[in-house]
């Protein structure tokens, strides 16, 4: 069967996604094609002709994407740091913005004495993205990750097993509640870095279909102002961190100042700093345990 040119197929796909309101139609069309071809998106130009069967499969994926199924659910992968994570229905898709939280964590770990075995905790780990990316980058670290949602925890365990198969240091996963006062008491006052990308969207917020219809709501919403889960977990953060230990908490772009004020008011933290994302929006707040 005669092969066909990929370029007009990509143009058609991008136009279909644009008409459906997808925010990055061309990029998504190219990413889906690259996924089916098993190549990097940047190498699509090296594949000018494709089999008709691939065009049929691509159109099927584009149709799903046009119905606002998340791109990562269709490719089955999301990235964090230097690793790829399996994602799909039932787990929150890691966002590129969280890469900033990950980079911040690595900088904090790099500042520790080189003969010190770091202890890192990831609250609300979801797919395991932050915990596993840290473990990959810092195999000397002892990494603990907590997730309350059984479906999300299945994905985290799958990703943890995949990382072990690839030679990474294992992490310790817990099916637990980050607001439980008895959580991880064996680590009281010992944790060097505590990260969290918790549920933080205010109830009633208007969300894109990819989020509202597919991300688990347990991972999204944090009460009327988005801070309910964060308020309840901050005492555990203060309890777990050693003096001089650091925390960083991702938040909705409407409540960075409120989160900073919350940490400051406790009296357990110093050097409370709001960090913006690459678009200049408030993204996470970091602080040092006094």
3-class secondary structure, 269: strand
Q: What are the C-alpha distances in Å from 124 to residues 153, 156, 268? A: 10, 11, 22
Q: Does the annotation flag 147 for ligand binding?
A: yes
Q: Which two tokens stand for residue 87?
A: 């994602």
For the chain, give percent helix, strand, coil, nearest 5. Answer: 45, 20, 35
Residue (of 181, 84, 174) closest to 121 by Cα position: 174
Q: What angle do CA 217, 220, 222 make, to 5 degrees?
A: 110
Q: Does the annotation flag 200 for ligand binding?
A: yes
Q: Does the annotation flag 210 for ligand binding?
A: no
Q: Which two tokens stand for residue 191?
A: 């944790």
3-class secondary structure, 36: helix
Q: Does the annotation flag 73 for ligand binding?
A: no
Binding-site positions for S-adenosyl-L-methionine read 147, 197
Binding-site positions read 147, 197-200
Binding-site positions for substrate read 197-200
């Amino acid at each position: 069967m005669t092969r066909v040119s990929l370029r007009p197929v990509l143009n058609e796909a991008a136009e279909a996604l644009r008409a459906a309101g997808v925010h990055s139609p061309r990029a998504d069309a190219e990413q889906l094609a690259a996924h089916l071809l098993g190549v990097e998106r940047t190498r699509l130009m090296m594949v000018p002709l494709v089999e008709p069967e691939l065009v049929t499969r691509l159109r099927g994926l584009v149709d799903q994407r046009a119905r606002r199924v998340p791109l990562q659910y269709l490719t089955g992968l999301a990235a964090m740091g230097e690793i790829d994570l399996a994602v799909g229905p039932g787990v929150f898709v890691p966002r590129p913005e969280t890469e900033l939280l990950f980079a911040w964590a690595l900088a904090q770990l790099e500042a520790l004495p080189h003969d010190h075995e770091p202890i890192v905790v990831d609250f609300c780990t979801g797919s395991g993205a932050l915990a596993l990316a840290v473990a990959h980058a810092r195999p000397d670290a002892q990494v603990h990750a907590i997730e309350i949602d059984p479906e999300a925890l299945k994905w985290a365990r799958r990703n943890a097993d995949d990382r072990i198969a690839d030679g990474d240091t294992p992490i310790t996963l817990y099916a637990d509640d980050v607001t439980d006062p008895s959580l991880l008491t064996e680590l009281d006052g010992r944790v060097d870095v505590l990260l969290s990308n918790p549920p933080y969207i205010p109830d009633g917020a208007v969300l894109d279909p990819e989020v509202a219809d597919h991300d688990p709501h347990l991972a999204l919403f944090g009460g009327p102002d988005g801070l309910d889960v964060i308020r309840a977990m901050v005492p555990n953060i203060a309890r777990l961190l050693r003096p001089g230990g650091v925390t960083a908490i991702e938040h909705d772009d409407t409540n960075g100042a409120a989160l900073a004020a919350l940490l400051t008011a406790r009296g357990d933290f110093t050097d409370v700093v709001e960090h913006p994302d690459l678009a200049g929006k408030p993204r996470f707040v970091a602080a040092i345990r006094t």
